[in-house]
Chain A
């Protein structure tokens, strides 16, 4: 459809006044407008799917004039990968908006909250929809600001401190991205992703520095150890809806950016060289470190949201490990090389987004109903909050990688791809075994999480132990609907992954 991507871009921005004045009446209206716009956007993005599946280059591109002097055009493009992530991102926005109605009830300045949510959705979705590096950076930073204010103003405890940390860390990462983008523009004279990819092929020396700057910048957003320090605070202090979006989409945007920019645009210039191979090996090492670091701390952490936050670090470790399996041979002429491992990695971004979103919403529901956050004080909530516990168990099992839930398929694909590569590159043997080991840990912390909160009897003497004053009930319906949407996706991606996997496989040529 003509202009459909432009509309996806503009609708949330144009909706802001309606959201604000609707929100002044009741937050229900504001939330519904945000959700409605996201649903319309999903429909609009879906209209590009036939083009992606059927056209020769499997892309859908819209181009508008923007800053000709800087050779920058307002290029909106989707291919199989970006369309899948954009859809999942908008699903999470729908869920977050619906969840907010009751979750945020009684808080101050709610119209502003919903305005920030729609502003956030512009950036969140925009990152995946453009092939212009400058516009990409625009959206990349546009995610930051609303997130800062949402975490700061509506978070828990020392929320502004956490938001500040989040902002400084990710912005420091972003300026390196900017440096990389500026260098690409200066070397190639273009800010278009695909033109830059071809032009960079003749500058392998400079490409080294660019790929390092870009990847380091994106790794901060992805919270790869040792650049992860912002994540536990930001995720745990943010309101649950924001945590779901942070963990589901914002850190995944880092992974997407590494795939699209570092590996897709710059890597071909260094592919086949010694540097290129060691770069990929480096990604694998950092992936393994993150996976273990996150999993270990998640095992011993007692704060309900910090467990999930550290689990996000672990899962970004998986994603980075998956990205490191990118084919190191020089491949000319394609946007991205898709192997089983890369398909699995992109799919893991999707499955992790919905599962982690669901887990954060469930944790938010628990905190909302019990006003507790230390899991040692909880227990036996399964009987009192059956719906929340079901969703948490589904999400937890998915995170642990057990079939038939979403993350199983994606982790399985990553490992199949890894074993495929081990046959030609023995370096990956040790990391792959270690990553398999790490899945055991993720099962361990997921089970501990679910068992401690929902199944185990509450410890004697805690507030939940037989105290009739604290009548804990399950969450209201609107929150249930939000969680139900994500449950559907977690199950659907697990039992019928074909739709997204087919889309992802249209990109590239292996």
Chain B
């Protein structure tokens, strides 16, 4: 039987490691084996977290019949529907596994990118662990309030990671980010209060059941608009996207990688959870057309803005926005293929953007920032450029990289849901994407560099980069590995005919 301990353990252990990180790293700094000991410390932290998540997954699937919603309440009283609730189902297990894995790889990168021997870096790592814990907490939360708390902790907490460099532009971007997050949370809280007023509960399945039998839906629509707007801000859906490229562009690359792979992708989890599992369309609320239009705009705006972008890091920020659009297409289709596509795209998109930010981070480190600076970088820094090239190809949806299968699944699911127009827009925007990505490739390999000096690339930083690059290729050639993990989720969908 899965107990409260099994669910809380990954979250609590990560928080504990996070709190211990500061004194431990300070202690390590005094010894002679800084790098080795730091690595060992985080290896322990992530092995424990990973073991905890794996234990949870095994326990859950060992149940005779894994229920779609397995809820674990904090209080066993008759008021359990009011209390904080943890919840496990296929999708949360899948998300938790993926987040832990991706976080571990990004952590390796951060360890070499943010020098651990310098002073405030221990806080950076501590916050990163804390955010991982918060995201996993959000994934396992079983009522709207717990979800809100964990999710806001993750979203607002990331501003500390952005501020690490403490220069003018990052301060500016962080401020913008915090303002957006605060507005978003205000919207969400207001929406939640409406939901609570309508249904008298915030518990996922209680809300769903209450809403299914709801006769007058005016208030619900109002609540939905507020919640949707709030989460749309956090997921950077057009027209609420403008903070993202700035914030990611100004943040250190390790932060940008972490945010794009974990926080940004985590917001899809919230969207999937709220839209597909609670506001079940037609039974509760038909939001598909609205979301389809938003998806179309997000793809168009993200890609067109990327087209005119000169700064490579901000360009990748816009790709993140466009990726949100592709994900929305999959959610909108409301089919099992759509959800499969979404979960696969979420993973590939997260890995690819993280990979791109990491590679760009290495190149930025030597002062190359704009497209023009990237001229001939392919010859000066062949390995980092190769990684960026692979990320670009995966974004562009070229086989044999993961992005191809992901996009293929997204478009087919749109066609299946009779949203062929959305698939056509997506495909055309994909061509635009290829255009600006290959303009970048063209600069990297086609133009002559200012000087032919070859730069010695930091091998340590390249290790996590190439782990992700290898993952993209492997998942592109053998998507079955991840699709098998997604299969149990598909069987638990509420709308499956």
Contacts and interface: CB of A to CB of B under 8 A. Distances in A.
Nearest to A142: B399
19 contacts: A66-B478, A67-B479, A69-B340, A70-B409, A144-B398, A148-B438, A149-B445, A152-B446, A164-B446, A171-B398, A171-B434, A175-B427, A175-B430, A178-B411, A178-B427, A179-B411, A179-B424, A182-B411, A186-B412
Q: Could you say which of A148, A163, A176, A179 has the most chain B C-beta atoms within 10 Å of its C-beta?
A: A179
Contacts of B397: 175
Contacts of B412: 182-183, 185-186
Interface string A340-370: 0000000000000000000000000000000
A186 B445 contact: no
Interface of A: 66-70, 134, 137-138, 141-142, 144-145, 148-149, 152-153, 159-161, 163-164, 167-168, 171-172, 175-176, 178-179, 181-183, 185-186
A453 B472 CA distance: 50
Contacts of A183: 412, 415, 420
Interface string B463-495: 000000000000000111001100100000000
B393 A178 contact: no
B373 interface: no
Contacts of A181: 408
Contacts of A134: 408
Nearest to B409: A70
B442 interface: yes
B70 interface: no
Which DSSP category, helix, strand, loop or mixed, fits chain A's interface? helix
Contacts of A179: 411, 415, 423-424, 427
Given A69-B483, A153-B445, 20 more contacts: A66-B478, A67-B480, A68-B480, A69-B484, A69-B487, A70-B479, A134-B408, A137-B408, A145-B398, A160-B445, A164-B446, A171-B396, A171-B434, A175-B430, A178-B407, A179-B415, A181-B408, A183-B415, A183-B420, A186-B416
Q: Could you say which of A69, A137, A172 has the most chain B C-beta atoms within 10 Å of its C-beta?
A: A69
B431 A168 contact: yes
Contacts of A168: 431, 434-435, 438
Nearest to A109: B379
A47 to B, nearest CB: 26
B398 A182 contact: no
A152 B445 contact: yes
Contacts of B399: 137-138, 141-142
B12 to A, nearest CB: 35
Which DSSP category, helix, strand, loop or mixed, fits chain B's interface? helix
B408 A138 contact: no
B157 interface: no
Contact of B483 (A67, A144, A145): A67
B447 to A, nearest CB: 8
A142 B400 contact: yes
Interface string B423-446: 110011011001100110010011
Given A68-B480, A144-B398, A175-B431, A164 B438 contact: yes
A66 to B, nearest CB: 7
A153 B400 CA distance: 22
B326 interface: no
B401 to A, nearest CB: 10
A141 B404 contact: yes
Q: Could you say which of B340, B408, B416, B483 has the most chain A C-beta atoms within 10 Å of its C-beta?
A: B408
A145 B430 contact: no
Q: Which 8 residue pairs of A and B lie closest in terms of their CB atoms, listed nearest first?
A: A160-B446, A182-B412, A138-B399, A69-B483, A186-B416, A175-B427, A186-B415, A172-B431
Nearest to A134: B408
A210 to B, nearest CB: 10
A164 B409 contact: no
Interface string B324-355: 00000000000000001000000000000000
Contact of B431 (A145, A152, A171): A171
Q: Could you say which of B393, B424, B442 has the most chain A C-beta atoms within 10 Å of its C-beta?
A: B442
B430 A66 contact: no
A159 B447 CA distance: 10
Contacts of A171: 396, 398, 431, 434
A9 to B, nearest CB: 12
A219 to B, nearest CB: 16
Contacts of B400: 138, 142
Nearest to B429: A175
B446 A167 contact: no
Q: Could you say which of B407, B411, B423, B483 has the most chain A C-beta atoms within 10 Å of its C-beta?
A: B411
A167 B438 contact: yes
Contacts of A163: 446
Nearest to A172: B431
Q: Could you say which of A68, A171, A172, A186 has the most chain B C-beta atoms within 10 Å of its C-beta?
A: A186
Contacts of B405: 67, 70
A199 to B, nearest CB: 15
Contacts of A69: 340, 479-480, 483-484, 487
Contacts of B478: 66-67
Nearest to A144: B398
A185 to B, nearest CB: 6
A217 to B, nearest CB: 10
A178 B408 contact: yes
B483 to A, nearest CB: 4
Interface in B70-128: none
Contacts of A148: 438
Interface string B369-412: 00000000000000000000000010011111000110111011
Contacts of A159: 446
A272 to B, nearest CB: 26
Given A153-B445, A179-B424, A182-B423, A167 B415 contact: no
Given A141-B399, A186-B415, A164 B427 contact: no
Interface in B291-350: 340
B474 to A, nearest CB: 13
B111 to A, nearest CB: 30
Contacts of B409: 70
Q: Could you say which of B399, B400, B404 has the most chain A C-beta atoms within 10 Å of its C-beta?
A: B399
